[in-house]
Chain A
């Protein structure tokens, strides 16, 4: 069954100071979607997410959202100063800025935050300073903040950027669980094998949409070369595509000759 439309981008172009970041993007997110946006640095992935969030206004086309759509945004972990003097609890309830004006965290907020933190395996860490957490825990605190006001659509920017393999697995499992619970998800990633290949739907972006479909349909040498501008090979392992850097194989051959 096709889910209700949550966000629809129609002929959308966005620019920063007259430099075009994305052009003529037609893209729809439906209830129940779990979409990954892949593309090289500067391909417009974050711009697309920000346009969906309403943080930037398209210069052409438009973004239509379901009325009263609740969205949660998880930025890159590197985007904030983790030395900032706040506790885990304070970060989680921050999204209630408009409602909770005064410094005091209410009983209801504390109970709600504790539930979300418990759910994400961060129970008991409410009063810890954010710097004391591991990389994976920091990422989950951001997810907890986004989940605190029960979003219908979760938007994540590079959720596995700069994290180790174990944390990447944790994040992937967490997102899969949230998706199973009915949260629609869109994320951007560089990580083709570790994250993108596991998602049900992928969009390849390089200023414009190159391909949109399942990983098997999208992760092909032709699409990848058009998206990343570099040759790549694709192997099928256990029914899943595995992307191999074409230049890497060439370098390996030259290195073996040196040896």
Chain B
């Protein structure tokens, strides 16, 4: 019995695992929180594209020996704001524009790492995430972005809700919709930036979409979605990270598979009611 119990707690004897599971759990909650806006605004493609854009910044900062958070951060926030403006103004087809901007940034990152970096190792770490390199700075960074997001979303709750539900009327009612959207894109960029090292570029968008979609099936209330989705994100990240240790699989892939399993269970249990609720979500 004691052998089994000690086995259960084995991963927690390693500092790298403790750092990784803390960052993954907070990242899951953070992605769950912002994912509510991503799914309700039909921005899943933007989230996906943004993670690719941040990859370009990460690669450039690695090659130029600039601090990752500074280089990828500036690049990511700038990309987020540009994508937000393109999507809002509909200057050209938003999907096409986002595709061009973000994949160009991604391709540039790849080229830079091929030419100047330790290509294979760096690319794999950024694409699929890695728990080995996670340190105290990552914990502080993801915690800071989580606190900032919670404070802003709670204190500007009504403006966020109004601008998401009905931006046109929100604008004429005095809500600064463009400002709210820029803020949301900035938070999304920061979230991707601080979670990318653990989750990886390719799987972040799933962590943005799955918990919020599960929450939508469980409730008809925006306010409740804002706490159910982070809880689901945190639970799936913690569980996925923990299982990955024993299954010897990629942490990010196991996290997403755990989330997907929760999605399937909730989809089955909630039946027609859940299906009706998520049927209105765009671009899922």
Contact = CB atoms under 8 A, between A and B. Distances in A.
B175 A98 contact: yes
A96 to B, nearest CB: 7
A73 B157 contact: no
Interface string A147-169: 00000000000000000000000
A85 B216 contact: yes
B161 A129 contact: no
A76 to B, nearest CB: 10
A54 interface: yes
Interface in B161-202: 161-162, 164-166, 168-175
B168 A94 contact: no
A95 to B, nearest CB: 5
Contacts of B158: 93-94, 96-97, 100-103
Given A81-B280, A97-B159, A102-B154, A73 B169 contact: yes
Interface stretch (B64-72, B98-106, B217-225): B217-225
Given A97-B174, A102-B155, A83 B277 contact: yes
Contact of B161 (A55, A80, A86): A86
B172 A80 contact: no
A90 interface: yes
A90 B222 contact: yes
Nearest to A93: B158
Contacts of B224: 85
B170 A97 contact: yes
B175 A85 contact: no
B221 A87 contact: yes
A210 interface: no
B241 interface: no
B147 interface: no
A82 B277 CA distance: 11
Contacts of A54: 172
B175 A97 contact: yes
B279 interface: yes
7 contacts: A79-B168, A85-B40, A85-B220, A97-B162, A101-B155, A101-B156, A103-B223
Interface of B: 40, 154-159, 161-162, 164-166, 168-175, 216, 219-225, 277, 279-282
